[in-house]
């Protein structure tokens, strides 16, 4: 069975290919099929992931899966949330990981409640009009530090400290991150759903 990934992120493709290999799925990116990226107009990860999955399924005429993920900070009412990748642009700053982290630190400067989490919503559909999308959700609890720590990862990884592991996400090796991360949690749920509902694997 071919599964279209509603993303052109090569790292995400490699990660999901490994996770879904037990099901015997052929995972291909929408970009390799000439499919443009979908709009993401919604305020929740699930709605955006569903929109992306349906878009890819419709244009590829095949089953599709999409991920929407980001950082949610309690003291900021859940921000940056679905706008995590372009958070800095909301404050008239350039779009980049460095600027996103600077803006987050500035907005958190007066807050003592540092609780936050990485969130991943994975949605899979058999077709664009599938009435029963599979939805998996992963949360990775942590705390926002007051300064960057670690050289690995990307995005907000140097700022999110994981108390249970005693390190920031940027200080974890890729292998350890892929075991504990929000996307890994969601992927394991999705694997079980595909096995149970789609009878794969």
- Catalytic residue annotation: 68
User: Residues with Cβ < 8 Å from 101, sequence gap 6 or more?
Assistant: 148, 156, 158, 159
Q: Give the Cα separation of 115 and 51 in Å (integer).
A: 29
Q: Give the Cα separation of 81 and 43 in Å (integer).
A: 8
Q: Give the Cα separation of 181 and 183 in Å (integer).
A: 5
Six token digits for residue 131: 């009435």
Element at 180 (helix H, strand E): helix 174-180
């Amino acid at each position: 069975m071919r599964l279209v990934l509603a993303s052109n992120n090569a790292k995400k493709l490699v990660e999901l290919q490994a996770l879904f290999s037990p099901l015997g799925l052929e995972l291909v990116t929408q970009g390799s099929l000439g499919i443009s990226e979908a709009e993401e107009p919604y305020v929740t990860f699930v709605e955006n992931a569903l929109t992306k999955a349906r878009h890819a399924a419709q244009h590829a005429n095949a089953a599709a899966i999409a991920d929407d993920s980001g950082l949610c900070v309690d003291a900021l009412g859940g921000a940056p949330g679905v706008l995590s990748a372009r958070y800095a642009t909301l404050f008239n700053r350039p779009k980049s990981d460095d600027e996103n982290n600077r803006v987050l630190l500035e907005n958190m400067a007066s807050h003592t409640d540092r609780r936050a989490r990485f969130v991943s919503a994975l949605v899979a559909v058999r077709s664009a009009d599938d009435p029963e999308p599979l939805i998996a959700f992963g949360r990775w609890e942590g705390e926002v530090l007051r300064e960057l720590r670690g050289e690995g990862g990307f995005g907000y990884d140097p700022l999110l400290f994981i108390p249970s592991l005693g390190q920031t996400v940027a200080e974890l090796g890729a292998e350890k991150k892929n075991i504990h991360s929000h996307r890994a949690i969601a992927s394991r749920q999705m694997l079980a759903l595909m096995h149970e509902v789609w009878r794969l694997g």
